[in-house]
């Protein structure tokens, strides 16, 4: 499974876990408001309300750490807007690259992060409403940076973000955060910490002291932050949903968006807002920009949104069909064919050590195996890590009792399985009956109830 797909599902799992809890964060949990900071922020909102042309060039740095995985992505971006409805936005390179152009008549969108959108250009009628044109959902710099897109140019220019969205604001950095303190302060800027309504995790924003333009936004998301998130989700009481914190064990996600250049109300050339589709690209007509913002064509919808367009074109469901045979190896290097389990009810799970939803699902599958193995149930976890050593280390720390196999994703067999199964994300879990028919084919993990329901389809109907 390639890296863009893997990251997509990891972040989707993170979103699903957090979005599963609706809450209103209590005011008492917020630090005291600072009148000086609120005045500075109000000046920033006023600056963006009086813009008729705008351009900024910057860079986003996203870092993620968890046991067995360290990752960093740097992407550069350009954002340009001219009233009433001209837009140019491009971010890249890499898996999070995207491009949007509105020439006043049509709106064009290209994204390469999601497998189902590669080689496609979404085309919609040009919106006349600036709020639709500059919807912050289209410009998310990093999915885990909750609230940050609204503090980018799109949210400020569209009016999506205003003082009414701010719960509290203070001068300076959050106390005791060494990483935030280590960031380079843009010259001539002042730093404030903002708590947005409905989000207990702070955003740190550096504002130019003269122009009042936003010069940098940062967010630090860790397991401790999630614990506070969940505590406030339940008004300071109650239990965290089972398995949610386990998905974030040892995890840190940090994002910083730095504006390198900014030009406010300066002339912008017409050519900047002209779109030329890439050679060989397929144009996909959509009804409106809302359809792209609510669920990018061929991409999963954001949590809480209405269902978007249909699933990626390479998504395959095997429900009602036999599982496609392939051969992986056990941890001693011995080849094992999946067809060797034929005749038994099997849970076939594609997973990886670096995947938080997988790490949440595996203990549930192990519990199910312990409950039903005496009745013939087999559980086969197929790890798709690039290095089998990472799998061995993970299993040394986590004692599971089911069958464990490794499939090298770079091998010919790994590539064949990726293509023929149409794996767009993990965990990918197939529940196969004794007649060798797939009864359920699930991507992602939403909790134990999902597993109980799928096992019932195999005849294992008692809870565990």
Could you confirm whether 358 is annotated as catalytic? Answer: yes
Helix (H, G, I), strand (E, B) or coil at 213: coil
Tokens 């390639």 sit on residue: 2
Supply 247's token pair: 């998905």
Q: Are 7 and 144 in contact (CB under 8 A)?
A: no
Residues with Cβ within 8 Å of 353's Cβ and at least 6 positions away in sequence, in order, are 67, 68, 69, 359, 383, 385, 390, 391, 393, 394
128 phi and psi angles, rounded to 5 deg: -95, -15
Q: Are 442 and 428 in contact (CB under 8 A)?
A: yes
Residues with Cβ within 8 Å of 142's Cβ and at least 6 positions away in sequence, in order, are 60, 62, 96, 148, 255, 257
325 phi and psi angles, rounded to 5 deg: -75, 145
Supply 179's token pair: 């990483």
Supply 114's token pair: 């999601």
Residues with Cβ within 8 Å of 175's Cβ and at least 6 positions away in sequence, in order, are none
Instruction: Select from 357, 343, 348, 360 the least CA-distant residue to 319.
Output: 348
Alpha-carbon distance values, 433 to 331, 377, 446 (Å)? 26, 9, 22
Q: Are 457 and 438 in contact (CB under 8 A)?
A: no
The residue count for the chain: 464
Helix (H, G, I), strand (E, B) or coil at 252: strand
Q: Which helix (H) or strand (E) holds 327?
A: strand 327-329
Q: How many CA atoms lie within 13 A of 347 on its CB side?
A: 33
Q: Which active-site residues does the annotation give?
A: 358
């Amino acid at each position: 499974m390639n890296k863009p797909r893997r990251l997509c599902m990891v972040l989707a799992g993170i979103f699903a876990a957090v979005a599963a809890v609706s809450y209103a964060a209590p005011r008492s949990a917020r630090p005291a408001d600072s009148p000086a900071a609120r005045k500075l922020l109000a000046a920033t909102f006023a600056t963006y309300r009086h813009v008729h042309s705008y351009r900024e060039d910057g860079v986003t740095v996203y870092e993620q750490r968890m046991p067995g995985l360290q990752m960093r992505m740097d992407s550069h971006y350009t954002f340009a807007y001219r009233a009433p409805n001209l837009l140019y936005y491009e971010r890249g390179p890499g898996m999070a690259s995207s491009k949007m152009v509105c020439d006043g008549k049509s709106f064009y969108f290209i994204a390469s992060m999601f497998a189902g959108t590669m080689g496609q250009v979404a085309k919609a009628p040009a919106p006349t409403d600036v709020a639709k044109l500059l919807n912050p959902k289209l410009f998310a710099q990093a999915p885990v940076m909750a609230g940050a897109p609204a503090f980018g140019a799109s949210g400020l220019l569209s009016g999506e973000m205003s003082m009414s969205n701010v719960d509290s604001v203070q001068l300076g950095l959050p106390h005791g955060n060494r990483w935030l303190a280590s960031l380079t302060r843009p010259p001539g800027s002042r730093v404030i910490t903002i708590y947005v309504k409905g989000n207990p995790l702070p955003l740190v924003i550096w504002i130019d002291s003269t122009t009042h333009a936003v010069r940098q936004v940062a967010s630090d998301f860790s397991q401790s932050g999630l614990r506070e998130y969940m505590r406030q989700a339940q008004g300071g009481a109650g239990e965290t949903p089972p398995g949610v914190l386990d998905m974030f064990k040892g995890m840190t996600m940090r994002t910083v968006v730095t504006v390198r250049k900014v030009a406010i109300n300066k002339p912008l050339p017409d050519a900047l807002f002209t779109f030329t589709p890439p050679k060989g690209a397929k144009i996909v007509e959509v009804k409106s920009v809302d359809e792209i913002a609510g669920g990018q064509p061929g991409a999963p919808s954001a949590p809480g949104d209405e269902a978007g367009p249909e699933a990626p074109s390479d998504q395959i469901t095997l429900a009602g069909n036999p599982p496609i045979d392939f051969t992986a190896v056990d941890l001693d290097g011995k080849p094992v064919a999946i067809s060797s389990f034929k005749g038994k009810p099997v849970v076939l799970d594609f997973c990886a050590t670096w995947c938080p939803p997988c790490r949440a699902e595996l203990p549930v599958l192990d519990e199910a195996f312990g409950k039903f193995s005496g009745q013939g149930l087999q559980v086969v976890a197929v790890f798709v890590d690039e290095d089998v050593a990472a799998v061995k280390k993970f299993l040394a720390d986590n004692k599971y009792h089911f069958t464990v196999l490794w499939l090298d994703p770079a091998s010919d067999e790994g590539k064949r399985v990726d293509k023929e199964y149409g794996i767009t994300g993990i965990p990918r879990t197939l529940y196969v009956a004794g007649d060798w028919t797939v009864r359920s084919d699930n991507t992602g993990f939403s909790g134990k109830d999902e597993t109980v329901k799928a096992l019932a389809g195999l005849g294992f109907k008692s809870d565990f």
